[in-house]
Amino acid sequence: VRSDGAAAHRTSPRVARGPRSEWPYPPNEPKITKQRLISLRPHKIANTLGALPKSAHPGAKKHLAEIWNAEDKDHALAAVKDFQAAYGAKYPKAVAKVIDDLDELLAFYDYPAEHWVHLRTTNPIESTFATVRHRTKVTKGPGSRAAGLAMAFKLIESAQKRWRAVNAPHLVALVRAEAKFRKGKLVERPEEVTSARAA
């Protein structure tokens, strides 16, 4: 809710018939790289394993863990190639579930290394609204839109006292300012990132 009481979503009208991921960014906010946060981790792993026979699950889980727990993006891409080499010939659908979304899946590697633990394992949007969702199920809905906004605000305000603080909070301002990070470390000269990727 904005300071004038209007709903925030009214400032950013939805793109006609487009999915939520295509909604325009709010005014004055930096454009953030799309990333499927890891609710992704269990969901993507489950979807990938669903395209494999059960006998292949132990090995595939190990390969997928190597991708998401890699030391940096370069190692993650190498792990993806290993996964593709191991399963691409027999199970192309399983490999496609990883390869098709690779840029989004590995987007967290372009952020500070201190933040990877948060981005790898949690979905901040789902986690934030979980407490609201649980209460609205019990009350069978908020009753009215105004009551719903008030209830959501008070529940989130109360829940934030128990939230785990983000690692290296001083880096959040740099992320918002669209600073460039490579291998989890701040790049003083952004042209270094471009030249390193071209090499």
Residues 123-167: pLDDT tens digits? 666 777 787 887 777 777 777 888 888 888 888 888 888 877 788
Give the position of tokens 């792993």: 45
Query: Mean of the per-residue pLDDT values for the chain?
Result: 75
**Residue 13: per-residue pLDDT:** 39
pLDDT at 2: 44
User: Over the Cα atoms of the chain, what is R_g?
Assistant: 20
Helix residue ranges, H only, 88-144? 92-99, 102-105, 113-121, 124-139
Q: For residue 34, is pLDDT > 60? A: no
* Plot region of 162 (φ>0 → left; ψ -120 to 50 → alpha; else → beta): alpha
Residue 48 and residue 94 in contact, taking contact as beta carbons nearer than 8 Å: yes
Where in the chain are the domains?
Answer: 40-108, 111-199
Specify the range with the lowest mean pLDDT, choosing from 115-119, 142-146, 190-194.
190-194
Lowest mean pLDDT among 17-26, 73-82, 92-101: 17-26
Q: CA end-to-end span of the chain, whole Å?
A: 46
Return the closest-CA partner of residue 176 out of 37, 29, 36.
29
Structure confidence at residue 46 (pLDDT): 86
20 has a pLDDT exceeding 70: no
**More confident position, 199 or 104:** 104
